[in-house]
Structure 1
């Protein structure tokens, strides 16, 4: 098995190659894509060449700009995958307080699954998802407050919530221990 550093580099290369492929399929220049995503042309070029490790927020912006599920930029399509906790590539949010491991996407690309880790007493507010996307979050460890729009909900171990993911939302770990969530996002 390769090291975590090797897996991260492979993910960076895959994201770059897939981004270029999707951009060309849609007949977009780097400048066109920059205008659609708010990510600079220089940064997009660096991502495509595998010269930078894009943040999770950047990847969300690019996926939204291309109108593709996030997983289209993250994982090759395979019929069988086994993903062991903590052993696959990871994407980081702000200051590594929020870490996700891409798990699965259905072969049609309409549903994606992630394992997320939220550090103690930290908050993560993701980029808005595609219009019509639905998110299901299940707390696997810890106690997490999920705010959707103006309403907040406290979820304990094994509690789940479903909501429209294009609405502004955030996750806050209410404990002194790392929280673990499983997330499923369905794109209509």
Structure 2
């Protein structure tokens, strides 16, 4: 079984368990996440490898971190994440990539990421739930951080904090790779009404 197959199986188990625990029907979760009911069925049956954007929307709608959605087993009190178990969730042929390093539910999803953006590349993100905060620390290059249509240059050694409930993205307009660490804190999602 390939890593992608294992990831699909884990995502299928976790999605079904979390959806059931939170009392969401397929239709209710689809509406909340902004994805089709058919896509949720395909994910729960491990018949598709959804895009990162789809997985983020589903995790946000469930009020869990990507780590919480991608791992089928409950986390122990201390969870070590070996380097070979960190999930590279986005990459390009030129060498840009983002890796989910670790995540926790505390009280809502909390994620730690490493990113590398090659010159001329970037990644855009849809708005996250209200109350979501991102922290970015640039360790190499100059990041162009776009938040709600406004660009902000973040040079190596500098950090930025912003509410990410608006369209946002990360871009490398410079001539050298950008490397950064990012933390994302999402508020817990309310349970489905009964």
TM-score range, shorter chain: 0.7 to 0.9
Aligned mates of 1:63, 1:82 — CA distance in 2: 20
Point out the more displaced range, 72-81 or 160-169: 72-81
Q: Deviations over 1:42-81 (max 9, x none)?
A: 2111111222111110011112222333332124524132
Given that 1:94 and 1:124 are in contact with CA atoms closer than 8 Å, whether structure 2 keeps it comes out as no
**Aligned partners of 1:130 and 1:166 also within 8 Å:** yes
* Separation of aligned partners in 1, 2:80 and 2:8: 19
Determine the structure 2 residue equivalent to 1:90.
88
Partner Cα distance (1:139, 1:6) in 2: 33
Pick which of 172-181 and 52-61 moved more.
172-181
Q: Is the 8 A contact 2:68 2:104 kept in 1?
A: no
Q: Quick one: structure 1 residues 31 and 97, their matched pair in 2 at CA, closer, same or farther if it must change by over 3 Å?
A: farther
Contact 1:56–1:93 under 8 Å retained in 2: no
Report the Cα distance in structure 2 between the residues aligned to 1:88 and 1:133, rounded to whole angstroms. 22
Structure 2 distance, partners of 1:53, 1:7, is: 12
Structure 1 residue 156 displacement after superposition = 2.0
Residue of structure 1 in register with 2:80 after alignment: 81
In structure 1, the partner of 2:5 is 9
Cα-to-partner distance string for 1:73-123 (whole Å, 9 max, x where unaligned):
124524132443x76332127889863221112353532111123233122
- Partner Cα separation in structure 2 for residue 80 and residue 67 of structure 1: 20
Where in structure 2 are the equivalents of 1:152-163 lying within 5 Å?
152-163=151-162
Q: CA, structure 1 residues 94+129, in 2 after alignment: closer, same or farther (shift >3 Å)?
A: farther
Question: Which of residues 42, 47, 51 in structure 2 aligns to 1:51?
Answer: 47
Ranges in structure 2 where 5+ consecutive residues have no aligned partner: 188-194
* Cα pair distance change 1:97/1:49, threshold 3 Å: farther
Q: Distance in 1 between matches of 2:86 and 2:94?
A: 16
Aligned residues of 2:87 and 2:101 also touching (Cα < 8 A): no
TM value normalised by structure 1: 0.83
Of 28, 40, 44 in structure 1, the residue corresponding to residue 24 of structure 2 is 28
Cα distance in 1, alignment partners of residues 184 and 162 from structure 2:
10
Aligned residue pair count: 183
Query: Does residue 65 of the first structure (1) align with residue 61 of the second (2)?
Result: yes
- Give the secondary-structure state (helix, strand or coil) at the position aligned to 2:48: coil
Name the stretch that deviates more: 53-62 or 169-178.
169-178
